């Protein structure tokens, strides 16, 4: 199983947290080791000072400083003064011999485990240069050295200071990283919205760091090149479609006046090709789709117009077409010509697949929807999901369909901020629903119900206009 990828934000937080914790741990270790060295020097210096001042003055006679001796005993320490041969010259109570075997050549620091008590002893064996030399061995309980309590207080105070400091650093890192990555997250959201219907969208370069800005500009440059290639292809398709229209029109006219028996069959074969050319032109025109915020289209009027447009064709194919819900205007913002073409594609496809004697129903809903229902075979399953439709190689509405109708409707609805929903009802047939957003509140959508809305004027020189009924 693949592990989920970590986010850049998470990596930054974890990395800075580890660095901060490592820095604090390193500082604590350094201070602790530094303290240990200072503590050892302090202990050694203290022992050496006691050992050096224990003897009153140089001479052959052994005489102790009583004040020093009393202080050693009060601190729980013990001492012994030895001759060069190891004879005990002076000692504290309970000491009858050397604390440790001594060496005649150097001073030695040592540690003894507690005997009378459980507290260990830390001591010094010091050679005093006399004639003959003598040796002083002195030991104190380790916990009686004041530096130990200093260490405990130091560690406690530093710990209480470091924990809030570390928490503050982590919180600051999280806030700064989140703020710094906000433009990058915005660019990622914009990139996720780029699709076949939005090739003109570019990633925002506002407030981006310099290193990230270079990446975003490279992506935008790639999108510019992709759009240029896309527009070149669109232009080529449009030119080809325009070049094909005239020969097809000539062929259709000659077939209409021909008295040959095969002329009618050939004309029927030429009709799908003519329709495909028209759809190619419609597809190219979508690249120039534009409407103003105050351009309002009445879906009810469009439905009636499309129904009238196909009325004679439906009768000729021994089918019927009905328009429902068009009694009252249903205004939406949009381009009337393109909405007409989109609905025309759905109705044309429904008539092509509806059984003989059945009715194709165009319904206008008050929630700014137009649905087309027929009793023919349903849509292929891959066409029901909008995401699958974008990646599907099939371009037609049905498995045996011809043309670009579905692509045209999908792109038209996307340009209007709406959506196309395809479904296969449980009782059979197929249903296509075009859903439009609410009118712009700054435009005609704010008019009162009693007012007559101002609709966008239709200009379709290439499309026959059927009379309204």
- The 3 state secondary structure assigned to 115-143 is CCCCCCEEEEEEEECCCCCEEEEEEEEHH
Residue 46 CB partners (closer than 8 Å, separation 6+): 140, 145
**Which sign, positive or negative, has the C-alpha torsion 322, 328, 332, 336?**
positive
Residues 307-331, mean pLDDT to the nearest whole number:
92
Q: pLDDT digits over 263-289, tens only?
A: 878 887 777 777 777 777 777 777 667
| Separation between Cα atoms, residue 180 and residue 202, nearest integer Å | 20
Q: Does domain 289-469 have CATH number 3.20.20.10?
A: no
Q: Is residue 329 a contact partner of residue 301, using CB atoms and an 8 Å limit?
A: yes
Strands 296-298 and 121-128: unpaired
User: Candidates 1.10.287, 3.30.420, 3.60.90, 1.10.10; correct CATH number of 199-288?
Assistant: 1.10.287
pLDDT at position 94? 78
pLDDT at position 395? 38
| Separation between Cα atoms, residue 245 and residue 237, nearest integer Å | 12
- pTM comes to 0.49
Residues 330-343, mean pLDDT to the nearest whole number:
91
More confident residue, 343 or 275: 343
Hey, which residues does 83 pair with through a beta bridge?
Answer: 134
| Separation between Cα atoms, residue 339 and residue 233, nearest integer Å | 24
Least Cα distance to 95 among 61, 53, 54, 139 occurs for: 139
338 CB-side CA count, 13 A = 26
**Which sign, positive or negative, has the C-alpha torsion 396, 398, 399, 400?**
negative
Residue 412 pLDDT greater than 80, yes or no: yes
Hey, which residues does 90 pair with through a beta bridge?
Answer: 81
Q: Which fold has domain 57-143?
A: Beta-Lactamase (3.30.450)
Residues 36-54, mean pLDDT to the nearest whole number:
66
| Separation between Cα atoms, residue 45 and residue 285, nearest integer Å | 96
In this prediction, residue 117 has a pLDDT band, given cuts at 50, 70 and 90, of low
Q: pLDDT digits over 187-220, tens only?
A: 888 887 777 666 778 888 887 777 778 888 888 8
In this prediction, residue 370 has a pLDDT band, given cuts at 50, 70 and 90, of very high
Q: Is residue 310 a contact partner of residue 348, using CB atoms and an 8 Å limit?
A: yes
Domain boundaries, the chain: 1-54+146-192, 57-143, 199-288, 289-469
Q: Scan for tokens 């650093």, then name that residue.
A: 169
């Amino acid at each position: 199983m693949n592990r989920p990828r970590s986010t850049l934000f998470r990596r930054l937080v974890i990395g800075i947290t580890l660095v901060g914790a490592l820095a604090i741990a390193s500082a604590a270790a350094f201070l602790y080791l530094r303290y240990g060295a200072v503590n050892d020097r302090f202990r050694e210096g203290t022992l050496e000072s006691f050992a050096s001042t224990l003897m009153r003055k140089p001479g052959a006679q052994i005489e102790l400083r009583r004040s020093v001796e009393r202080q050693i005993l009060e601190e729980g320490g013990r001492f012994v003064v030895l001759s060069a041969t190891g004879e005990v010259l002076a000692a504290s109570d309970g000491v009858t011999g050397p604390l440790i075997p001594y060496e005649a050549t150097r001073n030695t620091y040592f540690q003894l485990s507690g005997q009378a008590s459980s507290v260990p002893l830390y001591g010094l064996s010091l050679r005093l240069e006399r004639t003959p030399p003598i040796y002083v061995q002195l030991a104190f309980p380790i916990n009686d050295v004041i530096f130990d309590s200093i260490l405990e207080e130091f560690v406690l105070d530093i710990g209480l200071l470091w924990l809030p400091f570390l928490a503050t650093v982590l919180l600051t890192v999280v806030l700064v990283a989140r703020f710094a990555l906000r433009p990058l997250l915005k660019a990622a959201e914009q990139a996720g919205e780029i699709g076949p219907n939005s090739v003109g969208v570019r990633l925002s370069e506002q407030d981006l760091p310099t290193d990230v800005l270079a990446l975003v500009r490279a992506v935008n440059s790639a999108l510019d090149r992709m759009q240029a290639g896309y527009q070149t292809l669109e232009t080529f398709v449009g030119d080809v479609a325009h070049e094909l229209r005239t020969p097809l029109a000539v062929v259709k006219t000659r077939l209409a006046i021909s008295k040959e028996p095969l002329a009618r069959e050939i004309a029927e074969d030429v009709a799908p090709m003519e329709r495909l050319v028209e759809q190619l032109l419609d597809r190219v025109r979508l690249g120039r789709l534009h409407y103003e915020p105050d351009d309002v289209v009445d879906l009810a009027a469009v439905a009636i117009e499309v129904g009238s447009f196909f009325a004679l064709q439906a009768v000729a194919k021994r089918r019927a077409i009905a328009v429902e819900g068009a009694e009252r205007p249903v205004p939406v913002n949009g381009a009337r010509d393109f909405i007409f073409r989109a609905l025309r594609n759905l109705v044309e496809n429904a008539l092509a697949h509806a059984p003989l004697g059945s009715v194709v129903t165009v319904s206008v809903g008050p929630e700014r929807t137009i649905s087309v229902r027929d009793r023919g075979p349903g849509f292929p399953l891959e066409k029901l999901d909008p995401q699958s439709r974008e990646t599907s190689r099939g371009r037609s509405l049905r498995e045996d369909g011809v043309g670009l109708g579905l692509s045209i409707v999908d792109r038209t609805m996307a340009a209007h901020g709406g959506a196309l929903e395809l479904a296969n009802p449980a009782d059979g047939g197929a249903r296509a629903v075009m859903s439009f957003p609410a009118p712009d509140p700054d435009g005609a959508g704010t008019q009162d119900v009693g007012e007559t809305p101002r609709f966008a004027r239709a200009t379709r020189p290439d499309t026959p206009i059927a009379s309204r009924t």
